[in-house]
Amino acid sequence: MQTRGHKADFAHFLIESGEQLLSLLWPAADARRAASLEIIARTAYTAEESACHYLETIGLDQSGAIRKTLELARRQDSNEQTHEDIFSRDLGGLSLWIDRFVARHVAVLVYWIFALTTLLDHELASLLGEAVEAEAVKTYRRMLLEQPEGWLQQPVTPIATAYWRKEGNMWAARDEREPETLRDVIELIARDELDHVAANSQKAIAF
Ligand SMILES: [Fe+2]
Ligand SMILES: [Fe+2]
């Protein structure tokens, strides 16, 4: 966690507890775990976007901070969607029925938790989001260390290449070099998650 303080510690404790529970089903830092956790993480941004739209609609965005947060959440959502698609579609991370069942049900629950928390206490919602991203960084660092070299050295996947070519993608914005192997892609994703930690920490003080 980048943010310090009791509220940040509380948010991290909640997310770490939930993550430990999910680790019973997805202990290895592989495509199954990544695909499932990405659905859950992406849904948190979708919920934040919906709630920010609502707050804007009822006229609470006096300073423009809610609109700014909404647009940032939108960019994060599309970046997370790419992560999800790489691990689920390109790498088959959701091929087991049990993974799809648990990931999708938890994601629906997460949607409502994040939507309501954003409406009631946006700072707490952002801190919970920051904690999710801090856990994501750990997953991808583990993936780079624990997955077989043959798997990591496979060529870059189609969805990663399509994202690289997409206008306004986060990788080009950071001036990254084009990924050639899956290892390159995972390193880029780990840096995306670090960006999300920093962005959510800033969002916590936005409004
Ligand atoms: Fe992600
Ligand atoms: Fe993320």
Tell me what percent of the residues of the chain surpass a pLDDT of 70: 100
Q: Is residue 188 in some structural domain?
A: yes
Give yes or no for residue 25 having a pLDDT over 90.
yes
Q: Is residue 56 in some structural domain?
A: yes
pLDDT value at position 202? 87
The span from the CA of 19 to the CA of 69, in Å, is 26
Nearest to 34 by CA among 205, 172, 182, 186: 186
CA of 50 to the centre of ligand 1 (A): 19
Say if CB 201 and CB 2 are below 8 A apart.
yes
Q: Within 13 Å and on the Cβ side, how many CA atoms surround 98?
A: 6
Q: Is residue 167 in some structural domain?
A: yes
For 40-98, write each residue's pLDDT tens digit: 999 999 999 999 999 999 999 989 999 999 999 998 898 999 999 999 999 999 999 99
Q: Please name which ligand lies nearest the alpha carbon of 80.
A: 1
Q: Is residue 184 in some structural domain?
A: yes
CA of 136 to the centre of ligand 2 (A): 7
CA of 155 to the centre of ligand 2 (A): 23
pLDDT value at position 16? 92
Domain CATH code at residue 105:
1.20.1260.140
End-to-end CA distance of the chain: 20
CA of 84 to the centre of ligand 1 (A): 7
CA of 6 to the centre of ligand 1 (A): 26
The span from the CA of 203 to the CA of 207, in Å, is 8
User: What residue numbers bound the domain in which 87 lies?
Assistant: 6-203
Q: Which amino acid is at 60?
A: L
pLDDT value at position 3? 85
Q: Is residue 173 in some structural domain?
A: yes
- What's the number of domains the chain is made of? 1
Q: Is residue 140 in some structural domain?
A: yes
CA of 120 to the centre of ligand 1 (A): 25
What would the two tokens of residue 203 be? 């969002």
For 115-137, write each residue's pLDDT tens digit: 999 999 999 999 999 999 999 99
Q: Is residue 1 in some structural domain?
A: no
